[in-house]
Amino acid sequence: MENRKRMTVVLSLTLIFIVAFTFQAQAGQTYKLGLSLAITGPTSDAGDPYSKGVEDYFNYVNDMKLLGDDKIDCTIRDDQYKTDITKRNFEDFLDQGIVFYLNYSTGSTLALKKDFDEEKMPTIPASFHAGNLVDSSYIFLPIASYSAQAIGLAEYVVNNHKGSTPKVAMFIHPSAFGRGPVSDVEKAVAAGLDMEIVEVVEHGKDLDNTAMLKRLNSKGVQYVISQTIQSPVATMLKDASRLGMVAKTFGEPPPTLSPRSPVQVRTPSWPWPRSTGVMIRLPTPIITPMALWWPRLLPKSFDAPRPGA
Amino acid sequence: MTTLSIDNVTLTFGGLNALSDVSMIIEPGLITSIIGPNGAGKTSILNCISGFYHPTAGEIRYGDRRLTHASPHQVTKLGIARAFQNLELFSGLSVLDNLMLARHTNLKYNFLQAMIYVGKASRLEAENRAYVEGVIDFMELEPYRNSTVGNLAYGIQKRVEVARALTLDPQLLLLDEPMAGMNIEEKEDVVRFIMDIIKERNTTIILVEHDLGVVMDISDYIHVLDFGEVIGSGTPEEVAANEKVIEAYIGED
Amino acid sequence: MSYFFQLVVSGIVVGSIYALAALGFVLIYKSSKVLNIAHGQIIAAGAFIAYALTGWVGIPIYISFLLSMVITFFLAMSVERIFLRRLIGEPIISVIMVTIGLMSIIDGLIFLTPFGSVNFSFPQFLPQELISFGGVSISWTQLVGVIVTVLMIGGFSWFFKKSTVGISMRAVSDDQFASMSVGISVPRVFGLAWATAGLSAAAAGGIIGNITGLNFETLQAFGITVFPVVILGGLDSILGAVVAGIIMGVIQQFASGYLDGNWGLNGTAEVLPYIILLIILLFKPHGLFGIHEIERV
Amino acid sequence: MSTNRWLATGNYFTSYQDEQRLFFTHLDRTILTMFLLLLFVWPLLFTLSNKYMLVIDNILIAVVAIIGLNIVTGFAGLISIGHAAFVGIGAYTVASFSRTLGDSHVIITHAWPLMIVLSGLTGAVFGAIVGLPAMRLKHLYLAIATLSFQMIFTWTINFLEFFNQGQTISISRVFWFTGKLGRKDHYLFWYYVLLVVVVLSGFMVRNLLRTRYGRCLSAVRDNDRAADAMGMHPGLTKVYAFGLAGFFAGVAGALHAYVYRGVGFESFTLHHSITYLAMAIVGGLGTLNGSFWGPAAIITLELQVETLAEHAGQILPSTWNLATALKPFSFGLVIVLFLMFEPRGIANWWRIVRSYTKLWPFRY
């Protein structure tokens, strides 16, 4: 379970922070935490399991007495991916006296950045958008930012590519979390990464990506780095394989259907990236959706440019 | 006093002539009736005059103003009002509001004054309200002043329709079958109102009506339409003697 | 040139799905003059039912598609029965608002299931080989989708023109009182209109689900994108729905094929349908094929 | 005029101007004045948590927006599925100043009343532009034109660099006579501003509705052909309705920008447009007091469901999905039930209560 593993990483780090920030606390105390995230609405395909993970994890922490006599009480609220509800939830959490805040979306993290600073409220967002860290001293990213991940991928492409400068396109979500890494990858390229970014595609809710793929092909794009949520990538992959671009996954293997289903999904030509970490090798393009959040995939040499640092 | 003249008006709907080459002159101060069998184009003429339809060919002039391409609200501003055949009331509003709407162009306060209300807006509202009350009085609508129009009886609604047209203070009043679907007593009421309008307000009236008895009794001048063409015009006596008219109404043999 | 034709072909594929979804709107509008805002949700429901039947119950996929159509048929019928039957005679605005409410209700119901937040995809049951001709390729899934769409639209047009029920549906749309007086049960016709719309929605849902995978957000968004199609076609014309669907599909493909990536534009396929819709409405206020009624006063 | 000016027992008007009065007795006027006074005074007596201050601010913002929506949809009968976009226009007016001048420029922090009015005017201009198709389009075609505007708005904000591509554009805290507002006073301060705006808009619209500028709206709703024959241009009247609605939406948007101290496109999506419609319906379309009931009811409902969801989540962890699904479900159910059983909205209950108290004990 990759999700679980990832969650564990995030949450252990969270825990360290909490302990670090509340060192003066007495034994047998209950720490209040707040998490506001999208359990319904856009991106709930990630938010829903995330909320369950958080809930289970803190239950685990309390049951296993990882904090000794201390307990963690984490209130989880659905914000439907809406910034104004997130803000309301945050104010509510403040009223309840939380000591640590967990946020979710990039948009709300950026919107509430000032509030975190004013309230001196340590925050870990589920969004690893590098821009979260700009002008803020209370937002923490427990793992590499999206930018760092994207640059890591770019380096992976460069290291494994044979021949002349690889031509790369970026397929991104039309929002801050998709757009954020683009400029950082561009910076890396400017700093000497041997790669050419041919085009940055901000996808919509397209039912068919033929046009986009054909266009990229005609521009000689060899790899596509994706930074977005699951379903657009899935649509694109299907179209890619239809257009004869052989798709290859790396990372987690695509899931199979229930054993009773009459047809099994064949790997790797018809992948459904359930986890967000899938890389596809087309005869030309490589498609890598967002969040290679596994540190093991990040090249050792990698040194993420931390914006603002 | 202004004369309405209709010159060679043709109105076509999808290749079908609703009116073909219709000409008539409406003299001021008279009751002019337009009669004819169903589908003869009576209402179409009124629609052309009041701007709901625009003639395909020909011209309509009111005094020296051309109405051929005017929209209804422009026509209304010239002092031509109309009562509709199939009630076109603001059925969700009260009788009072319906009539106040007819004073729309007379309420000459601006938006800011309306927002503040005290002062000019209030004064003008009261003045026009008084005018409306005059019409309510004239049309004997007092009991229904605050009732929602949609809930009133058909005959009353017809009367409100006429009252609303009157509230516009028209020089030329177009009445489209004001007596349709009424019984004898109600018809007599309407006839009385029409006669009063002519007498007290000195308004020109164009009447479209099916009831030949009424038309013959009260009209000063009659135009007879059939299949979109004028087949006879004249005083009631002349029309009654016109063979073509008799033919159209009674049919050949 | 093959680029151009590939765009056209993909556009037609997407467009025909639009047409099928638009058909559901047209069916309801034609008989009851109601624009069903919740149609996207019904499409999603149809697709999810088909998946649940095959993925969880284990029914063979073809049968589960048919079953989902039948279920959605009755589902839509009962929606009409429960929520809209009482509103016959109410102003159209409130009926449309009810469909907006329905949209939320169905959303809530879907969030009760895993479909609300998890992505699924239909098992593949069609050959994976591509059909290519002259540099233009199309998958079996898409081809079958188009064929089903054509069949359904053809069937519905025939149904409207020839069958007794179809004729009574047209009669009701023309004049409710007159049709009542000749013995047509107006509520039954409304129910039937919703039911058939549900049927076509399930078909559309199945096809989209096969092409893009089952993601609630995508299906919802699809329901909204169909609006410009319906309005462009003229609300009460099946032919209009087909033509407008294909126009929109092709336009979207052209937009992302020729506009995106140039002049700093991106995601134009999402906004262009609406811009074109506005422009066309300025010149043809009743859509391309809508009936322009002469107002009688 | 009746001799008892506190409890009139009947209609004693002696002039038409008498009849124009908003309050028929001193009692009515006193009750409203007391109520307004209470609204202004209560925060001084006890403090509410920030969350609930924000909720109340939010309700008041929605009230301003709904007054606008009620003008176009309730009174003029034109369905607008793009009201959130107009609110967004207002918010982004402030945001564009913040973008060009910097978020703590004097114009934004000191001249905020001006910014609010300016946003309203921008909203009005956009409203009128979007309303232009109303000159030719009718009914559903028009509704979809407003939907198109909503989509085009979202796209434009989302893709234009100037609007920070939909990411939050921050707005600085404003200054009052006492200096810069702190975090503590923020919501309270805006509560008062909002209250003033709401009361002003309420009276403004109440006055408009009894003049020709209000009557013409109902006229085009009920029968635009007859309206035409009354000498008003039905098309222009509709454009005016959209413009007026746009004004209130714009004001609401600017207030939203200030209260939330930032503008991001997520607050002005289609979903919000639909929520606004729901508020208008539940409150009562075509009534002024419905504009107050609707937002209060819908936002309270949302909070209640949230609390319920939380409790359910604590007792039965596995019901998380059940609990969160309740939100859209209850929202939709409320709209549908209101339309089915009380299409005139809460305003109708209010009317019933009022007419009951009017007759009580002996007024007739």
The domain spans of chain D are 1-46, 48-270
* pLDDT at res. D254: 94
The mean pLDDT of D325-348, rounded to a whole number, is 85
Gap between the Cα atoms of B70 and B179, Å rounded: 28
Report the residue from D77, D225, D336 with minimal CB separation from C101. D336
The span from the CA of D302 to the CA of D326, in Å, is 10
D contact chains, 3+ CB pairs < 8 A: A, B, C
Query: A250 or C284: which carries more pLDDT confidence?
Result: C284
Domain A146-288 indexed as CATH 1.10.1200.10: no
Contact B52 D225 (CB under 8 A): yes
CA B79 to chain centre: 11
Handedness of CA A236, A241, A242, A243 (dihedral sign): positive
Residue A201, classed as helix, strand or coil, is strand
- Give the class (CATH, top level) of A26-133: alpha beta
pLDDT, one tens digit per residue, over D78-120 is 888 889 999 999 999 999 998 888 878 888 888 888 999 999 9
CA distance C134 to C234: 35
In a domain, C8, yes or no: yes
Angstroms from B114 CA to nearest CA on chain D: 6
Residue D257's pLDDT is: 92
d(CA C105, CA C41): 9
Which chain D residues contact residue B172 at CB under 8 A?
Answer: none
- Dihedrals φ, ψ of A226, to 5°? -105, 140
Question: Residue C220: which region, alpha, beta or left (left: phi > 0; alpha: psi -120 to 50)?
Answer: alpha
**Percentage of chain D modeled with pLDDT above 70:** 91
Crossing angle of helices D234-260 and D212-222, in 10° steps, is 110
As a whole number of angstroms, the distance between CA A45 and CA C217 comes to: 10
- Does the pLDDT of residue B69 top 70, yes or no? yes
Say yes or no: B125 contacts chain D, CB-CB below 8 A.
yes
Quickly state the pLDDT bin for A7 (edges 50, 70, 90). Answer: low
Provide the whole-model pTM. 0.85
Better-predicted residue by pLDDT, A20 or C3:
C3
Mean residue pLDDT across chain B: 86
Distance CA C55, CA C123 (A): 8
Name which of A290, A255, A287 is nearest A276 in CA terms: A290
Burial of D184 (0-12, 13-18, 19+ CB in 10 A): exposed
Interface test with chain D among B115, B133, B172, by most D beta carbons within 10 Å: B115
Q: Is the pLDDT reported for residue D252 higher than 90?
A: yes
pLDDT tens-digit readout, A168-218:
888 888 877 778 888 888 888 888 888 888 888 887 777 777 777 777 777
What is the rounded CA–CA span in Å between residue D356 and residue D349? 11
For testing contact with chain A, the best of D165, D167, D315, D327 (most A CBs within 10 A): D167
Contact predicate B211/B190, CB 8 Å: no
Cα–Cα distance between D305 and D329 in angstroms, integer?
Answer: 10
- What is the distance between the terminal CA atoms of chain D, rounded to a whole angstrom? 15
Nearest CA in chain A to D173: A114
CB-based contact (8 Å) between C118 and chain A?
A: yes
Supply B167's token pair: 């509230």
Least confident interval from C67-76, D4-13, D65-74: D4-13
CATH topology of domain B1-79+170-253: Rossmann fold (3.40.50)
From residue A309, give the alpha-carbon distance in Å to each of A107, A136, A143, D170.
Answer: 21, 11, 16, 22
Q: Does residue B76 register a pLDDT over 80?
A: yes
Q: For residue B110, is pLDDT > 90?
A: no
- Mean pLDDT for A56-74 is 84
pLDDT score for A273: 31
In which residue are the tokens 């008041």 written?
Answer: D60
Q: Would the pLDDT of C144 be above 60? A: yes
**Mutate which of D180, D324, D329 to disrupt the A interface (most A C-beta within 10 Å)?**
D324
Overall number of domains in chain C: 1
Domain-embedded: residue C253: yes
Chains touching chain C, criterion 3+ CB pairs below 8 Å: A, B, D
**Residue carrying structure tokens 């996954």:** A249
> When comparing pLDDT for C248 and A213, which is higher?
C248
Residue B8 has pLDDT above 80, yes or no: yes
- Where do the structural domains in chain B lie, given as residue ranges? 1-79+170-253, 88-169
Q: Answer for the pair A236, A215: CB distance below 8 angstroms, yes or no.
A: no
pLDDT tens for B201-238 read: 888 999 998 888 888 888 999 998 888 888 888 888 88
pLDDT score of A299 more than 80: no
| Banded model confidence at residue C295, pLDDT cuts 50, 70, 90 | low
Q: Do D226 and B89 touch (CB under 8 A)?
A: yes
Locate D115 and state its tokens: 């910014």
Mean pLDDT of chain C: 82
User: Cβ distance A211 to A242 under 8 Å?
Assistant: no
pLDDT at D242 over 90: yes
Report CB contact under 8 Å: C108, D155. no
Preferred mutation among C16, C106, C256, C258 to probe A, highest tally of A CBs within 10 A? C256
| pLDDT score for A18 | 63
The residue-averaged pLDDT of D40-58 equals 87
Q: What is the pLDDT of residues D157-184, one digit of tens each?
A: 888 878 887 788 888 888 888 877 777 7
Q: Does D238 touch chain B (CB under 8 A)?
A: no
Please check whether residue C296 lies inside any domain of the structure: no
Q: Which of A52, A114, A119 sits opposite D170 (nearest CB)?
A: A114
Is chain B in touch with chain A: ≥3 Cβ pairs within 8 A? no
Task: Please give the share of chain B, as a percent, with pLDDT higher than 90.
Answer: 3
Nearest chain D residue to C285 by CA: give it. D137
Interchain proximity C119–A244, CB inside 8 Å: no
Amino acid present at A100 = F
Q: Mutate which of A197, A208, A267, A275 to test chain C, going by most C C-beta atoms within 10 A?
A: A208
pLDDT at position D234 over 70: yes
What is d(CA C124, CA C141) in angstroms, rounded to the nearest whole number? Answer: 9
Amino acid symbol at C189 = V
pLDDT for residue D15: 77
The arithmetic mean of pLDDT across residues D229-235, rounded, is: 88
> Please, are residues A263 and C61 in contact by the beta-carbon 8 Å criterion?
yes
Q: CA-CA distance, B197 to B31, in Å (whole number)?
A: 10
Place of tokens 């479209």: B208
- DSSP letters of D109-157? HT-HHHHHHHHHHHHHHHHHHHHGGGGT--HHHHHHHHHHHHHHHHHHH
| Residue D79 · residue C93 · CB < 8 Å | yes
Residue range B23-63, pLDDT digits in tens: 888 888 889 999 888 878 888 888 899 888 888 888 898 88
pLDDT of residue A306: 34
A83 with D266: Cβ contact below 8 A? yes
pLDDT above 90: residue C125: no
Q: Is a pLDDT exceeding 90 seen at residue D121? A: yes
Do C217 and A205 lie within an 8 Å CB cutoff? yes
Q: Please give, rounded to a whole number of angstroms, the shortest distance from the CA of A229 to a CA of chain C.
A: 11
pLDDT above 90 covers what percent of chain C?
4
pLDDT at A267 over 80: no
- Pairs across C and D, CB distance < 8 A: 138
Task: Check whether A243 has a pLDDT greater than 80.
Answer: no
**One-letter identity of residue D72:** V
Tell me the pLDDT band of B121, cut-offs 50, 70 and 90.
Answer: confident
C-chain CB neighbours of D278 within 8 Å are 97, 100-101
Whether pLDDT at A240 is above 80: no
Per the CB < 8 Å rule, is B84 touching C294? Answer: no
Q: Mean pLDDT across the stretch B182-190?
A: 86
Rama region for A41: left / alpha / beta (φ>0; ψ in -120 to 50; rest): left
pLDDT confidence bin for D323, thresholds 50/70/90: low
For residue D150, pLDDT beyond 50? yes
Kindly identify which residue of chain B lies nearest to residue C292, measuring between CA atoms: B14
Among D183, D260, D264, the residue with its CB nearest the CB of A107 is D264
Q: How much is the pLDDT for A258?
A: 31
Residue with tokens 């004045």: D33
Does C163 score more than 90 pLDDT? Answer: no
Domain residue extents for chain A: 26-133, 146-288
Structural contact between residues A213 and A171, judged by C-beta atoms closer than 8 angstroms: no
In this structure, the dihedral spanned by the alpha carbons of residues B156, B161, B164 and B166, taken in order and rounded to 10 degrees, is -100
Q: Measured between CB atoms, does B82 come within 8 Å of chain D?
A: yes
Q: Which residue has the higher pLDDT, B217 or C212?
A: B217
Number of Cβ atoms within 10 Å of the Cβ of D1: 10
**How far apart are alpha carbons A75 and A98 in whole angstroms?**
9
Q: How far apart are CA A29 and CA A72, in angstroms?
A: 9
* Distance in angstroms (rounded) separating the CA atoms of residues B9 and B105: 29
Looking at per-residue confidence, does B40 or D276 come out higher? D276
C residues 138..197 contacting A (CB < 8 A): 138-139, 142
